[in-house]
Each structure stands twice: as C-alpha cells, then as structure tokens.
A and B are shown apart, each in its own frame.
Chain A
Amino acid sequence: MIPINYYIVLSAILFTIGTLGVLTRRNALIIFMSVELMLNAANLAFVAFARAREVALGQPFFDGQIFVFFVIAVAAAEVAVGLALIVEIFKSKRSIDVDQMSSLKG
C-alpha cells in the first residue's frame, strides 16, 4: 500500500527534469522531447489523483483517466505539427540550434 504522495513527488521530479531539459538543451528536438516528458509527468499526476479520489469516494472514478486520454491525443497532434515546423526551420536555417533562431532580438 503505497501512499499516493509518492506518485505525486515522482511526478514533480519528472516535471522538473523536463523543465531543465527545456531550458538547458539547445537542440530543438530535445527541447520538444523534454516538453513531452513534462506532459507525461502531468498525466501521471492526473491518474494518481483519479485513483486517490476513487479511493476516497469508494466507487469508480475515471475523470482523471479521461483527461489523460485527451492529453495524449492532443500531444500526438502537437508533436506532428511541431515536428513539421522544425523541419521547415531546418530547411531555411540549416540548423536546429534554438540559439540561432534569435531574429526577434530587440
């Protein structure tokens, strides 16, 4: 019998690692992957909370899982479009280093 808290902590740790990845890495693809990791951490938290609610209510409770369902679907769509964009950028700049995409410099 593991307390739900453990899953929450794990989710937080994973989210943090994902954040670090977004902020630290320069490769656009790896940043994207870190974003996926963050989403995943959030999904884990959703499911953990759904489970906790189910335990508290004493009857089945699926809303968290349905959320995750939608998140996964949207993440898939997002990855598709995002990767298409990265490919486009690569075609014009010949690089996927985000530090080189600083034309909006003020």
Chain B
Amino acid sequence: MFLAEATQSGFFFLAPWIVFAPVLGLLINGIFGHRFSEKLVGTIASAASGAAFIVSVLLAYSVSVNHGELVRWQLAEWIHIGDLQLDWTFRVDSLSTTMMLVVSGVGTLIHIYAIGYMHEDVRFKGDPGRFPRFFVFLNLFIAAMMILVSGDSYLMLFVGWEGVGLCSFLLIGFWFEMDTLARPSWANSNAAKKAFITNRIGDFGFLIAGFIMFWNFRSFQFDEVFAAGQAAAPGIILAITLFMLVGVAGKSAQIPLYVWLPDAMAGPTPVSALIHAATMVTAGVYLIARSAPLYTLAPQAQTIVAMTGAVTALFAATIAVGQYDIKKVLAYSTISQLGFMVAAVGMGAFAAGMFHLITHAFFKALLFLSAGSVILGLERGHHHADHAHHGKGKKGKHVLSKVEGRKEERSHDAHEEVRRVEPVETFDPNDMRNMGGLRKTMPVTFWLYMIGTLALAGIFPFAGFWSKDEILADAFNEGFTAVYWLLTVAAFFTAFYMGRQIWMVFFGEPRHEAAAHAQESPTVITVPLMILAFLSILGGALNLPGLHTLTEWLEHTIEVHAGEFVWGVAIVSTILALLGIWISWLIYGRTPLKAGRPDPLKERLGAVFTGMENKWYVDELYQAMIITPFAKISQFLADVIDWRFWHDWFHETVIAGTYNWVSNVALNRYADQQGIDAFANGLGDVTQWLSATMRKVQNGFVRSYALSVLLGVVLIVGYLILK
C-alpha cells in the first residue's frame, strides 16, 4: 500500500521533518515549557530529536534503496531575483544522510543525558525555571544543524552555519550572569561572545568565498557550482577554497581561530559534548568533504588545508598535556582530533575524514558526558562533605541526588527553594587536582571513561584505532610525509595526555574530601553513556579495511578511493599509543600525585611545561596584538571622532549652532521682524496714514465738495479736449 510503495521508492517526502520535528519541539517547549514538569520538557525535546533520527534512518534507507542516487526534494521557493535562483531544497544523498544520522543520533542520546544533568545543574546554579530554555536551545541547534547538512546550496548551508553559531552562543552563555563556579561574573558571557566573534571571522571568510563563487558561477547550488568549477580559472578555485578554509578554521577550531573552543567549556557539559565535540565543530569538515570537487581542482589548497590540520593537531595535543581542568583537556583533544579530520579531507581522503568524524563523535561525546558524570559526582561529594562536617542547616552549594535515599530528599526539599548564595569556599569540581581514586567510588563512570580513552588513543580494536589509522595510512600512501609525521607525533601525545588524565582522575588516592565522598550518577545519565560506549567499541566496523562499507557508501556522492591498509603504519601507531600510555603511567600512575603537590612534568620539562600549561600564550598574544589595539581604536573612534568631533563640534556647534543662528538672527530678526513684520505693519501704517489723510476731504463744508465737483468737471472737459 502506501507504506509498501514508500518502502520501494523511498521516504524522500519525509525530508523536511528532520528540520520540522526539532522546530516543533522547540516551539512547544518554548511556549508551554514553563508549565510542564521537567520530565515532560525533556521528553518532548528528546522525542523531537528522536523523530529527526528516525526520519534520518528512513532517508538513509531510501538512499540505499535508490542505489545511492542523489534526490533533491524542494520544500519552497526562496529567492528568485535575476540570476539568483535559490530554493529551500533538501539534498538527500549518502554524505548528507551520514551527517544527519550522526547529528540526530548522538544528539538524541545527549538530550536524554541532559534531562538528568540539567536537573542537577539548575539546582546547583539556583534557577530551576531555566530548565525548559535549555531544551529549546538544544532543539534549535538540532534544527539548524539539520539545515546545514541537508542544504542543497552553499547559501542554505550557510543559513545552518549561522544558526549553529547562534546556538553555540546561546548555549555557552546559558548561565550568562555567572562563571563555572556559580559566582556572579562576566566569564560565561565573555566566553559566549568570544565564540561568536571568532566564528564570525570564519564566517567572513566563508562569505568571501561565496561572493567569489556567485560572481563567477552565478549560482550557489552545489551541482551547478561544481560543474562550473571544472571550467573555471585555477586562481578562482584556489581563492574560493582558501577562503572556505578560513570559515572552516573558525567553525572547526583550527589554527588560528581555535581559541574559542577551550573557553566554550564554560557551557554546561551536554553542550560541550554535543556542539563542541560531536556535531557543530564537524561542520567545517563536512563543508570540505562536500566541496570535494572544488578541492580536487586546487592541489595547493589541499596542501594548505592538510598542513593546517596537521599543525593544529600537534599544537593542540601539546597544550592538552599541561591542562588541569578535565574538560579543557578534552577540549584541546577535540581541537587536535579535528586537526586530524581536516588534514584527512585536505589530503583528499574524504572517506577517512568522515569515518574519523563519526567515530570521534561517539567517543568524544562519551568522554565529555562521562566527564560530566565525574563532575556531578564530585559536586555531590562536596555537598555531602559539607553536610558531614557542618551538619544540616548550612547554606552552601546544593545538589540534589537521586541516588540518595528518600529521607534525604525530604530534608533537602527545604533547601531546594532557597536561592543560591555565595559559596563559602571556591571549590572547583572540574579541577583534576581535586580528584583521584574515583575508580572505587564511581565504577560505572570509570569503565565508560576507560572505553572512551582507549578509543581516543587509538588502541586496537576500538573505533578510534580504525579511523585514525586510515588517516595515517592515507597520509603515508599519498605522499604527504610532513602531514604523516605531524599526525603520528600528535597521536603519541594524544595517548599520553589521556593516560595522564586516567591516572590523575581515577587512580591513586582522593586528593580532596569531595573526591572521597563522590557518588555514582543515576541511570538516566549512565544509560546513554553505555550506548555511546557500545558504539565506540564497535564503531570501527563502519569502514574496516577490506570491507570499506563507508567508503562505498560515500562513493555515491563524492569521489573517494579506498585506502589501503598499511601494516607498518598500523604497527607504528599502536606502538606509539601504548608507549604514550606507558610513559604516562610512569609519571602519573606509578607514583600517584599527592594533594597539593605540583605536576611531576613541571620539574622535568620546566619552561616547556609552563608553555603547555599556559596554552603557549596564544590568547595573550591575540589580546595584545588584536583586541587591545581594536579596543583602543574603538575608544578613539567613539570618544574623539564620534562624540567630541561629530557630536560636540559638528552637530552641536556647526549644525545646531547654524540652525539656531539662522532661525534666531537671520530669520527671526532680519527676515521676520525687520522684513515681514515691517512690511505687514508698514501696510497697516500706510493704510492708516492714507485714511487719515483722505479723511480730511470730508470736512463737512459744502463749498469744498462743490470745488471738487468743479475740479472733476475741469479734468473731464480737459480730457475731452485733449482727446
């Protein structure tokens, strides 16, 4: 019947629902959310995201039924002006359905996770009413990301690009009036601004690329651009691809525009997981993969892209070694892994890049969410430590835990309505120096984190091994030697800092009483993590060498070639990974860090470690070189040029003064009073004088009247004579 028919030909007509379902969810939650219970809000949002996932599955199925042929499903006409013919069309092919599945799949899991996480977070920060807003923003993000990946033209892609940038801003600055420790501060809103502004610089590059594209090819639509690109001058293609690289550097956090991503950790952990690990930051990689026909035409651009990715990968990995915040380590790790992906697609290994994108989404989301679980556990532990020491009635940070017994909940209810007040001490639950020995108190989280770490480090047979290895193999095979060595060293560092993290967080003795009292997270948090862990283990099956399932799938859309499996590369990378973990054990695992002691690497590496710790002073460099002069120039422009010159002198003195002079002196005194008034009054005066004079004729004497008659007669007769 209808279903059978659809099963035959495909469910392409469902394409708009990948966007509409999240939009519906956000509208319902946005308008009615304040009346619903938290569970209902979370369920609606997750159901919306889940509906988008189901539709993505159906669309992927439809593509496979259609033998991978591209289907363009038009929803509405948008702009039809002259040469510019743009419609809102959904591009359903293997590449876009792959992205759709990743975004909606991981997104739905994170939505579910966020229900439990935000329930605790809003109470910790003291504003339970803000709960629905989070899910509205999350759904908005899913909708925007779907627009990005399903767009049929660069302009539609850009609409989604901007949309996810906006959602990033909204979600990073979710707690805009405080910092991560819930103290009133500008920190979170500054982080959000930084993200948006840095992204904007990238968007600028993207727009320039778009302008060049339209100027030369008269279209934004993918197929038309690719066709026209074949015949275009190489310089133009080079310009387009390099400007697009600027956009990618902004969105996917490459050098030099990566600085926003570590600061973005100020947002709640689900945000970090979804946006800054799994999906939004991969938009740049998707863009390059989509623009494969253009990049293959410009080999110099490819080299530049690949080198950018490789250098970023190594640079970020070195910074990650020196970080103490658990989320910051993961953030720099993300930048580094994105470098891997960008290098891959830069080299032309689009399948490898997409493969790593998928697996990275799995294990990075897992790592971030597990880190969130760790942080929550630490907060609960801190709360309990407070109560244990100072008894009930103390007003400190409040965290409601579902694991605790019911009797505890009742006593905590009294605290729940209390507005958050200043914490007594500044305890940072993110700092790894406060952790230690959590393996015993949070075992589930420990094992999940282990799985994620092994996948990230690239240990056989976890997913990361297959995808990272394919990139290294392609680099080796294609002759990108510099890229290969940079990425290999970066892989070593990756294993090292992840090992460092494992030893510091989960092994040894707790360095803070909060860690000693830490508790495991509830199931609503751990179950999505288990699903992600499952995917992290088995994800490699997507593109096993030999089978090349993903490569063949993507081949329908972009030109990819199956990478060969090089044993040497695989062995080298595995050895380096194990070496990295072993060295980290030597430094951090064998003699666990004691509370209050500095990092062991500090003594050994000295200044190098200080550089790593301080992110190689890049932010400070930007501040000095760009931001401070910019602020000075703005100040100058605003105060001197705009206010003192333009307003005070020009407007007030020149314009207003002239106007006042004209109206008071010129017009009022001269024109009006001496001119017009004089004339009008003069008329009256003349009339008065005239009538006063003429009045004398009426003197009442008959004789003078008779005289005037005679005068008239004389004049008339004289006229007759002269005629």
Contacts and interface: CB of A to CB of B under 8 A. Distances in A.
Interface in A20-34: 22-24, 26
A23 B710 contact: yes
Interface stretch (A48-56, A61-69, A78-86, A95-103): A95-103
A104 B698 contact: yes
B348 to A, nearest CB: 115
Interface stretch (B38-46, B88-96, B701-709): B701-709
21 contacts: A19-B710, A22-B703, A23-B703, A23-B710, A26-B703, A98-B701, A98-B702, A98-B703, A99-B701, A99-B703, A101-B700, A102-B699, A102-B701, A102-B702, A103-B700, A104-B698, A104-B700, A105-B698, A106-B695, A106-B697, A106-B699
Contacts of A101: 700, 702
A22 B705 CA distance: 11
B700 A105 contact: yes
B367 to A, nearest CB: 115
A102 B698 CA distance: 10
A94 to B, nearest CB: 18
Contacts, number: 31
Nearest to B699: A105
A2 to B, nearest CB: 26
A98 B701 CA distance: 7
A104 B698 CA distance: 8
B700 A23 contact: no
Contacts of A19: 710
Size category of the binding interface on chain B: 10 to 19
Nearest to A20: B710
Nearest to A28: B702
What band does the interface of chain A fall in when counting residues whose beta carbon is under 8 Å from B? 10 to 19
A88 B695 CA distance: 29
Contacts of A23: 703, 706-707, 710
Interface of B: 695, 697-703, 706-707, 710
A105 to B, nearest CB: 3
Given A99-B703, A106-B695, 8 more contacts: A19-B710, A23-B706, A99-B701, A102-B700, A102-B702, A104-B700, A105-B698, A106-B697
Contacts of A106: 695, 697-700
A19 B699 CA distance: 21
A99 B698 CA distance: 13
Contacts of B701: 98-99, 102
A35 to B, nearest CB: 10
Contacts of B707: 23
Contacts of A98: 701-703
A98 B707 CA distance: 14
A22 B709 CA distance: 12
A95 B179 CA distance: 118
List the 4 shortest-distance A-B pairs measured between CB atoms, nearest first.
A106-B698, A102-B700, A105-B700, A104-B700
A98 B702 CA distance: 7
B336 to A, nearest CB: 113
A43 B710 CA distance: 20
A101 to B, nearest CB: 7
Contacts of B702: 98, 101-102
Contacts of B697: 106
A27 to B, nearest CB: 11
A23, A26, A103 — which one has the most chain B CB atoms within 10 A of its CB? Answer: A23
A101 B703 CA distance: 11
A19 B717 CA distance: 15
A26 B701 CA distance: 10
B716 to A, nearest CB: 15
Nearest to B695: A106
Nearest to B696: A106
